[in-house]
Chains A and B, each alone.
Chain A
């Protein structure tokens, strides 16, 4: 498969195979006017198969959303055809306003104006817990 290289834009590499669509939606890439390439099941020495997202515009990526959904992803910023910045994404310690607590007994269930805040409580297993009720967030699928 041949794809044009990007002159100016952002590349998200080393996405777990099958994970690209979810990131595409969570980062609202469907709202962009520019070209976006979703590459599925690309060969990878490290991962076997991987997904890649190429965005042909220099946009700001919400790194908290990305770090929560897909820690391990590499973000490359491309300007004039060269990579000017490359970053390996770590899971964020704290995520604010990205996922919603689904525990019906949580105070956030009756006071909607409270900010939804989750803290990373187990880095090894990527467990996030609501700071109010300490419920585990159900990984994925509950992005606001």
Chain B
């Protein structure tokens, strides 16, 4: 029995296999509609995340399985002070696989130590969110048909954005990747990530200007710059527009740029871009369901 707590637990070969299955699901959905018949997914969400939870639930239903669980800790055993270990010991008797979201870092790992069934980490605080990274990887692969020889731009909050950190870690394993890290000084990528890139001889540049960086990019991964990350309002107001993607900035980009965003978006991508063929963020959300279907099958050992 195997869980997925951290994306680093998957080899590139296993990721490739998941992507092959996800693409086959997209091409032949009917073939998969009864793959998990009679199986149950428990969604244990100690913190509300409607988007992620619905994606997991839709994934299980499309595999012919069933779903049970809770959507926030308000009404659950957690609010009565039960430990993660105890909740999971009980729930793993009711379900064949568990997707857990928790505000505290490491809670899904604790769950995996006590569960009788596989645990999928559906986000633990600002720490790991492996199915988001798998979603990003499937999107890049579907858009580009490959993982190597790409210039990958990441823009916005690169300091606190965990999806950014995991994506850098995952993409750094492929050949000839160059990262362009676009952020204000206050929100630069943490130094330990840069040290890892240095150690592996992976090319990267840091810049404050999205406008200057955009022409060379193959992928642009946008994230939200949040007001609460700044010490004062002035800095936030001064900087926020610099990191908004609009038509004028996009006009300088390659024709085959792929724009990704983990969603929800606030204003960092203008709505005028939504209909541009380079916008991939809504397809990305859909890809999340397909890669979760592939992952559920893998962890349940369904062929």
A135 to B110, CA, bound (A): 16
Contacts of A110 in B (CB 8 A): 104
A130 within 8 A of B: yes
B77 within 8 A of A: no
- Knowing A111-B84, A133-B127, the reply to whether A106 touches B105 (Cβ < 8 A) is yes
- Knowing A133-B127, A134-B127, the reply to whether A108 touches B83 (Cβ < 8 A) is no
A111 to B102, CA, bound (A): 13
A3 within 8 A of B: no
- Knowing A110-B104, A131-B109, A133-B105, the reply to whether A105 touches B126 (Cβ < 8 A) is yes
Contacts of B124 in A (CB 8 A): 107
Contacts of B110 in A (CB 8 A): 107, 111, 114, 132
Distance of B43 from chain A, by nearest CB (Å): 19
Q: Provide the A41-53 mask, 1 if CB < 8 A to any CB of B, else 0.
A: 0000000000000
Contact B104 A105 (CB under 8 A): yes
A10 to B302, CA, bound (A): 58
Contact A132 B83 (CB under 8 A): no
- Number of contacts between A and B (CB, 8 Å)? 43
Q: Provide the B74-106 mask, 1 if CB < 8 A to any CB of A, else 0.
A: 000000000111000000000000000011111
Contacts of A107 in B (CB 8 A): 84, 102, 104-107, 109-110, 124
B169 within 8 A of A: no
Distance of B31 from chain A, by nearest CB (Å): 39
A102 within 8 A of B: no
B65 within 8 A of A: no
Q: Provide the A86-120 mask, 1 if CB < 8 A to any CB of B, else 0.
A: 00000000000000000101111111011000000
Distance of B281 from chain A, by nearest CB (Å): 27
In terms of DSSP, what is the predominant structure of the interface of chain A?
Answer: loop
A108 to B124, CA, bound (A): 13
A106 to B125, CA, bound (A): 9
Contacting A at CB under 8 A, from B93-152, are 102-107, 109-110, 124-127
Distance of B102 from chain A, by nearest CB (Å): 7
Distance of B249 from chain A, by nearest CB (Å): 34
Contacts of B83 in A (CB 8 A): 111, 113
Q: Provide the B271-302 mask, 1 if CB < 8 A to any CB of A, else 0.
A: 00000000000000000000000000000000
Contacts of A105 in B (CB 8 A): 103-105, 125-127
A130 to B106, CA, bound (A): 9
Contacting A at CB under 8 A, from B246-270, are none
A106 to B103, CA, bound (A): 9
Contact A132 B84 (CB under 8 A): no
Contacts of A131 in B (CB 8 A): 106, 109
Q: Provide the A130-144 mask, 1 if CB < 8 A to any CB of B, else 0.
A: 111111000000000
A-B contacts, 6 of them at CB < 8 A, read A105-B127, A107-B84, A107-B105, A107-B110, A111-B84, A132-B107
Which B residues lie at the A interface, using CB under 8 A? 83-85, 102-107, 109-110, 124-127
| Apart from the given pairs A105-B125, A107-B106, 19 other A-B contacts in the complex at a CB distance below 8 Å | A103-B105, A105-B105, A106-B105, A107-B84, A107-B105, A107-B107, A108-B106, A109-B104, A111-B83, A111-B84, A130-B106, A131-B106, A132-B105, A132-B106, A132-B107, A133-B105, A133-B106, A133-B125, A135-B105
Which A residues lie at the B interface, using CB under 8 A? 103, 105-111, 113-114, 130-135
